[in-house]
């Protein structure tokens, strides 16, 4: 680990809150999968089930006015920053109550009220943007921090390297958080990458420390991101944090993930972030009855979101011609 | 007094906006103390300092991407891409990000930024530093496209570009940098989507943009000597496109010749021609004609480049044939 900064305190109340957040996101991802299978969600989805620990842990270390940038696998990040499960599922179902009025869909979830600046589906493209929001915070003399979440596959694209280099050169308050789930789409990341740890092993090239952590432990993620946030707010520049995690579903809806070696998923399911946090709660003395109440509440929230999203009308067809320009319209000629 | 160069107008246009709005910042390669490789940011670093004029590495994706992130969070960045050919190395941001973010977030975020770039041929830089690429941008809904031909329009359109809440591609032309014109008064603005009727005429409409404006203006002079009265229109912006000024002109002249620097294949004149053919068909007494670059890479040698690009001579010959046929 890069420094000896003391870890942040953890209260049982924190753990309870994070557990419920994990459950709501997991439940929403499962609902998205089921809605897809029943034909109510079009296009594609890239589910983050298994990655929730990174989103919940990082969010716990951030302020509401910090900026978050995500990839096309970004439901968990939008929800961790406050997007409701209903607005998430409604967007996937092309409904008028969806987060982006049906113009974004699963791959472009955005929640501006939580400074969640969008989900980007061209690999790596949002990383320079996160550098830009960090630059903006410096220019406006706020102490806001920016976070770019990205997959292991993004570390082999040019925008990653341009972004990290510029962030270091300009000493910007940005944290690059890699969700290393071992697979670049359908291909093991190790078979297409020159280093063992695709993000962390590149850090030295940019004069940054090598940080690899357990991404399935919310508390670990919160602590490590918290240290990076403190460095960023203190004007000490960017960090790269590689979180080891695992995708419970395939890359996208059409991928049954047959390329995984036998037993790998089962092994990772034992390290499921939900299970890890539940064990921590039990260890902290929270009883089964209380856990059951939290689990029931989360389930109820998701069930309600599914019903509400199903009941909502499709977005207005006229929405196709709004929001191209800042005046709200789409006129391009006289 | 025509004492302001197009080159100086770029820096002055940016400086005027930086003086009135502290959220305007510049970034790009060699734009700071060096003043830009084309000297189009000369004096900005001295006046506004390193806190507002930022030198970058050769990282076009980071330049445009960082400008986007800053634009989406309260700033008005002006990013320089040194040669417009280099837009190809950050094309993801120009094609997939800048013009789409507002739309695909359902209007949750805006991207008030300008990408300035030195466009076009005429200086013998060869196939990778001479292209006119305004038509690349013209294929993408969601980008404003400005391409001024005079120093006053540089300042006026720069003011509109920097104050716009939409992403703007601002094409400065390399062969026009040394040209001179009137210094416009403080507060001068040229609104987007207003073509400039540079010369009134009755027999034929000549439409140009940026590089082709000196060509069509000189061609109109020579046509006048032949007794042909040409109306000359400078589009100034491709998006928004002032089609109504062009259609109104064609309604009187009944002929239109469009002169472009970008290649004939996929050039912006194709879209304008289709609008005129569709909405102005019954006004026409001659086929809609286009002169554009030949469909070859732009060669290095001047005598070869001359073979590829439209000229005053080809413009005069084509226009005269249209009127006299």
Do residues B97 and B211 both lie within one domain?
no
Q: What is the pLDDT of residues A251-298, one digit of tens each?
A: 888 888 889 999 999 999 999 999 999 999 999 999 999 999 999 999
Do residues B200 and B177 both lie within one domain?
no
Do residues B33 and B153 both lie within one domain?
yes
Residues 6 or more apart whose CB falls under 8 angstroms from that of A94 comprise: A42, A102, A105, A314, A315
Q: What is the pLDDT of residues A149-161, one digit of tens each?
A: 999 999 999 999 9
CB contact under 8 A, B25 and A163: no
CATH number attached to the domain at A20-309: 3.40.50.970
Share of chain A above pLDDT 90, in %: 93
Model pLDDT, residue A41: 93
Is residue B188, in this structure, part of any structural domain at all? Answer: no
Do residues B133 and B211 both lie within one domain?
no
Residue B63 sits in a domain whose CATH number is: 3.40.50.970
CB contact under 8 A, B106 and A324: no
Share of chain A above pLDDT 70, in %: 98
Residue B286 sits in a domain whose CATH number is: 3.40.50.920
Q: Supply the DSSP string of B186-241, one letter for each residue.
A: TT----TT--EEEE--SSEEEEE-TTHHHHHHHHHHHHHHTT--EEEEE--EEETB
Do residues B153 and B201 both lie within one domain?
no
Q: Give catalytic residue positions of B.
A: 129
Q: Over 60: is that where the pLDDT of B5 sits?
A: yes
Average the pLDDT over B273-283 and give the result: 98
Q: What is the pLDDT of residues B75-115, one digit of tens each?
A: 999 999 999 999 999 999 999 999 999 999 999 999 999 99
- For chain A, domain boundaries: 20-309
Among A162, A173, A176, most B C-beta atoms within 10 A, so best to mutate, is: A162
Rg (CA), chain B: 19
Q: What is the pLDDT of residues B279-311, one digit of tens each?
A: 999 999 999 999 999 999 999 999 999 999 999
Per-chain mean pLDDT for chain B: 97
Q: How confident is the model at residue A1 (pLDDT cuts 50, 70, 90)?
A: very low
Answer whether A118 touches B (CB < 8 Å): yes
Answer whether B246 touches A (CB < 8 Å): no
Do residues B106 and B237 both lie within one domain?
no
Tokens of B46: 């001295």
Among partner residues B57, B68, B275, which is closest to A129 by beta-carbon distance? B68
Distance in angstroms (rounded) separating the CA atoms of residues A71 and A120: 5
Do residues B208 and B291 both lie within one domain?
yes
Q: Which of chain B's residues have a Cβ under 8 Å away from the Cβ of A136? A: 69-70, 73-75
Q: Which of chain A's residues have a Cβ under 8 Å away from the Cβ of B142? A: 324-325
Chain A to chain B, count of Cβ pairs less than 8 Å apart? Answer: 165
Instruction: Give residue B161's domain range.
Output: 4-181
Q: Which of chain A's residues have a Cβ under 8 Å away from the Cβ of B66? A: 128-129, 131-132, 135, 163, 166
Is residue B119, in this structure, part of any structural domain at all? Answer: yes
Q: Which of chain A's residues have a Cβ under 8 Å away from the Cβ of B242? A: 333-334
Distance in angstroms (rounded) separating the CA atoms of residues A151 and B194: 45
Model pLDDT, residue B250: 98
Do residues B163 and B224 both lie within one domain?
no
Among A128, A163, A168, A170, most B C-beta atoms within 10 A, so best to mutate, is: A128
**Nearest-by-CA chain A residue for B64:** A128
Do residues B148 and B263 both lie within one domain?
no
Dmax (CA) of chain A: 69
- ipTM (interface pTM): 0.96
Do residues B62 and B113 both lie within one domain?
yes
CB contact under 8 A, A133 and B109: no
Show the CA angle centred on residue A151, arms to residues A36 and A59, nearest 5°: 85
Is residue B125, in this structure, part of any structural domain at all? Answer: yes
- For chain A positions 142-171, those within 8 Å of chain B (CB to CB) are 146, 158-159, 162-163, 165-166, 169-170
CB contact under 8 A, B25 and A134: no
Show the CA angle centred on residue A204, arms to residues A203 and A206, nearest 5°: 70
Q: B126, B157, B181: which is the final residue of a domain?
A: B181
- Cβ atoms of A108 and A100 within 8 Å: the answer is yes
Among partner residues A128, A146, A328, which is closest to B62 by beta-carbon distance? A128
Give how many domains chain B has, as a whole number: 2
Model pLDDT, residue A6: 54
Do residues B21 and B81 both lie within one domain?
yes
Distance from CA of A59 to the nearest CA of B (A): 19
Answer whether A101 touches B (CB < 8 Å): yes
Model pLDDT, residue B282: 98
Do residues B168 and B52 both lie within one domain?
yes
């Amino acid at each position: 680990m890069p420094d000896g900064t003391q870890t942040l305190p953890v209260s049982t109340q924190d753990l309870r809150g994070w557990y419920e957040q994990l459950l709501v996101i997991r439940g929403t991802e499962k609902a998205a999968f089921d809605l897809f299978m029943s034909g109510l969600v079009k296009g594609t989805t890239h589910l983050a089930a298994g990655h929730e620990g990174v989103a919940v842990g990082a969010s716990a270390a951030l302020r509401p006015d910090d900026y978050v940038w995500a990839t096309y696998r970004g439901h968990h990040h939008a929800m961790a920053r406050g997007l409701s499960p209903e607005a998430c599922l409604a967007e996937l179902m092309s409904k008028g109550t969806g987060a982006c009025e049906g113009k974004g869909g699963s791959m472009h979830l955005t929640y501006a009220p939580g400074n969640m600046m969008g989900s980007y589906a061209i690999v790596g493209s949002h990383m320079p943007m996160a550098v830009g929001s960090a630059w903006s915070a410096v220019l406006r003399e706020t102490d806001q921090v920016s976070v770019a979440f990205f997959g292991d596959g993004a570390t082999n694209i040019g925008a990653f390297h341009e972004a990290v280099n510029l962030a270091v050169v300009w000493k910007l308050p940005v944290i690059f958080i890699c969700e290393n789930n071992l697979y670049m789409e359908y291909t093991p990341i190790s078979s297409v990458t020159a280093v063992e740890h695709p993000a962390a092993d590149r850090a030295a090239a940019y004069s940054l420390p090598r940080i690899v952590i357990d991404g399935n432990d919310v508390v670990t993620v919160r602590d490590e991101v918290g240290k990076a946030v403190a460095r960023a707010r203190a004007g000490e520049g960017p960090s790269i944090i590689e979180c080891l995690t695992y995708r419970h579903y395939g890359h996208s809806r059409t991928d049954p993930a047959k390329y995984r070696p036998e037993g790998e998923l089962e092994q990772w399911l034992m390290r499921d972030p939900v299970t890890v946090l539940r064990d921590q709660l039990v260890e902290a003395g929270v009883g089964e009855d209380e856990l059951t109440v939290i689990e029931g509440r989360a389930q109820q929230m998701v069930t309600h979101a599914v019903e509400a999203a199903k009941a909502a009308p499709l977005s207005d067809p006229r929405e196709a011609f709004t929001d191209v320009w800042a005046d709200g319209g789409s006129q391009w000629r006289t | 007094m025509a004492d302001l160069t197009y080159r100086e107008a770029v820096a002055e246009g940016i400086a005027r906006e930086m003086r009135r709005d502290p959220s305007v910042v510049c970034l790009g390669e060699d734009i700071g103390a060096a003043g830009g490789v084309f000297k189009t940011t000369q004096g900005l670093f001295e006046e506004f300092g390193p806190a507002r004029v930022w030198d970058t590495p050769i990282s076009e994706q980071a330049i445009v991407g960082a400008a986007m992130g800053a634009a989406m969070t309260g700033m008005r960045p002006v990013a320089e891409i040194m040669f417009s050919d280099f837009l190809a190395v950050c094309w993801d941001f120009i094609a997939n990000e800048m013009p789409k973010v507002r739309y695909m977030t359902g209007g949750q975020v805006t991207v008030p930024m300008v990408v300035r770039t030195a466009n076009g041929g005429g200086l013998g830089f060869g196939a990778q530093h001479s292209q006119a690429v305004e038509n690349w941008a013209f294929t993408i809904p969601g980008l404003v496209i400005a391409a001024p031909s005079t120093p006053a329009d540089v300042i006026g359109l720069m003011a509109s570009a920097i104050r716009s809440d939409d992403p703007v591609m601002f094409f400065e032309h390399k062969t026009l940098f040394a040209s001179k014109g009137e210094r416009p008064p403080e507060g001068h603005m040229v609104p987007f989507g207003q073509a400039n009727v540079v010369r009134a005429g009755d027999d034929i409409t000549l439409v140009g943009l940026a590089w082709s404006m000196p060509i069509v203006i000189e061609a109109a002079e020579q046509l006048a000597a032949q007794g042909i009265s040409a109306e000359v229109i400078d589009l100034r912006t491709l998006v928004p496109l002032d089609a109504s000024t062009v259609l109104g002109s064609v309604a009187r002249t009944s002929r239109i010749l469009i002169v472009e620097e970008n290649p004939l294949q996929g050039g912006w004149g194709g879209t304008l021609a289709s609008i005129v053919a569709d909405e102005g068909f019954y006004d026409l007494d001659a086929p809609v004609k286009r002169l554009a670059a030949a469909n070859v890479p732009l060669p290095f040698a001047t005598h070869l480049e001359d073979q590829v690009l439209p000229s005053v001579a080809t413009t005069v010959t084509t226009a005269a044939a249209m009127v006299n046929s």
